[in-house]
Amino acid sequence: MTTTFDSKSSTAVALPVEDQGEPVGIEADIRRLAQRLHRMEGEKEQLLGDIRDSYLEAKQLGIDVKALKRVVKLRRQPADQRQAEEDTLESYKRIMGLVPDFEKTPIGAHIAQAQMREAMDRLQGDPALAATAARLVDAFGSVEAARGAIEAVTAMSDQETIAGGGATVTPIGRTGGGRN
């Protein structure tokens, strides 16, 4: 017999137990869960040892283990969470001056030059304007430096004569020469 507490009458009640053999009810659940957890803890220790061995192997191969751990961590994150963290970090790095301006990086300079060539190609329809843009590039010393000036020239609100160049600018999207 097993003694249990009856919550309704606040007294101890003797309940029969089957043959004192295999546990039943909650006792069986506790034993089953304890055995499973014990087995999984052993497996966890084995996995942790395997992970340590893998990082040791990476170190022996000359791989930066700290960077490898970071990559493994990143792979576990959902893509949107990973992107949000990278964007935030990039913003903070820019604020702190740890990242050069994009146009000063090799790929940024390449893109800026490609955009400038595209703008120059659009200006080829007006030889005088193209010549003025070329003079601006020469005056500013680089395509990147002249970019703002060239964009300002091409975005003027109405026709004007550029001093010294004699070029007439016809604004994009405008058909008349009057002021608004």
Any idea where the domains of the chain sit in the sequence?
Answer: 103-169
Question: Treating both helix axes as pointing N-terminal to C-terminal, what angle do 127-140 and 106-123 enclose, rounded to 10 degrees?
Answer: 150
Half-sphere exposure in the Cβ direction for 47 (13 Å, CA): 6
d(CA 74, CA 89): 14
pLDDT of residue 154: 64
pLDDT of residue 24: 83
Mean pLDDT of 167-178: 46
* Reported pTM: 0.40
- The beta strand positions in 18-177, using DSSP E, are 160-161, 168-169
pLDDT, tens digit, 9 for 90 and up, residues 43-101: 999 999 999 999 999 999 999 999 999 999 999 999 999 999 988 888 888 788 787 66
- Classify 20 as helix, strand or coil: coil
Cβ pair 103, 109 in contact under 8 A:
yes
pLDDT of residue 10: 53
pLDDT, tens digit, 9 for 90 and up, residues 116-149: 777 777 766 777 777 777 777 777 766 666 666 6
Phi, psi (rounded to 5 degrees) for 8: -75, -45
- The beta strand positions in 90-163, using DSSP E, are 160-161
